[in-house]
Amino acid sequence: MHAVPLHRVATNRANAQHSTGPRTEAGKQRSSLNALRHGLTAQTAVLPTEDLATYQQHVQQFLDEYQPATPTETQLTHELANTAWRLNRIPLLEAELLTRAINPPIEQAADFNQSMVFDIVDAHRALATLGLHGQRLSRQFQKTLDQLRTIQVERREREQRDLADAAALLELHKHKEIPWEPADDGFVFSKQEVERFAQRKMRLNESRHVEYIRFHAPLTRAKPPAVSYQPAQGNRIYA
């Protein structure tokens, strides 16, 4: 093993002094409060300083929009709402940081012996951190939204196929004048749901037929009656 030159050892020690994070009590105290202040990585979406009723209304808006029908869809919808809640917090935090940078307060440290002065350097660092959190949360929101949409599309397509099969069986039993219930064939729909679907399909088929006749069928033109020409008697042509 080769010995490290003394000048390199001194250089490494000097660099380490600039990369060890906060060293003063004030700096350590300020750093320890960062996660609590922005709450963007906390397990609980709502901070103690935020209004719980407003948060619940926020979540309900997502539930009303996406109408989750399964536990998985409900879980993804809540994740969407929580991620959006954190994202919406970032502009408020940025505004607060800029205000504090313009009018830097002096806060007392835990031991009351050293003060924590918030300056423009702190603001730039905090804004950069918020930007990284915003990018992460935006990616998380889009990923969750894509998952939810994929699951819901697959569920709705499956429901439409099952409804079409149930409607076909309903019409078959009507034709044979045999009583039938959807549960007899393992369907989870009520008979009223199947009836509405079948009637809607029949109306749509009828409307498509009328649409074709009115707008798309080729026009047929009647041929004009044949006209025969007979010269009047007595009119002769001489060569």
Average pLDDT of the chain? Answer: 77
State the average pLDDT over residues 83-109: 75
Tokens for 74, please give them. Answer: 């409900």
Supply the pLDDT for residue 91.
Answer: 87
Instruction: Give the type of residue at 8.
Output: R
State the average pLDDT over residues 130-151: 94
State the average pLDDT over residues 112-117: 43
For the chain, percent of residues with pLDDT exceeding 90: 44
What are the contacts of 152-160 at 24+ separation with CB within 8 A?
152/66, 152/69, 152/73, 155/69, 155/70, 155/73
Supply the pLDDT for residue 111.
Answer: 45
Supply the pLDDT for residue 220.
Answer: 67
pLDDT surpasses 70 at 236: no
| Three-state SS at 106 | strand
Supply the pLDDT for residue 150.
Answer: 97
Burial 63-93 (b: 16+ CB within 10 A, else e): eeebebeeeebeebbbbbbbbbbbbebbeeb
Supply the pLDDT for residue 181.
Answer: 95
Is residue 138 very low, low, confident or very high in pLDDT (cuts 50, 70, 90)? Answer: very high
Supply the pLDDT for residue 19.
Answer: 41
* β-sheet bridge partners, residue 116: 107
Residue with the larger pLDDT of the pair 2 and 132: 132
Tokens for 231, please give them. Answer: 């010269």
Supply the pLDDT for residue 94.
Answer: 79
Question: Which pLDDT tens digit goes with each residue over 12-45?
Answer: 455 444 444 444 444 444 443 444 455 666 667 8
Q: What is the pTM of this model?
A: 0.61
pLDDT surpasses 90 at 190: yes
For the chain, percent of residues with pLDDT exceeding 70: 64
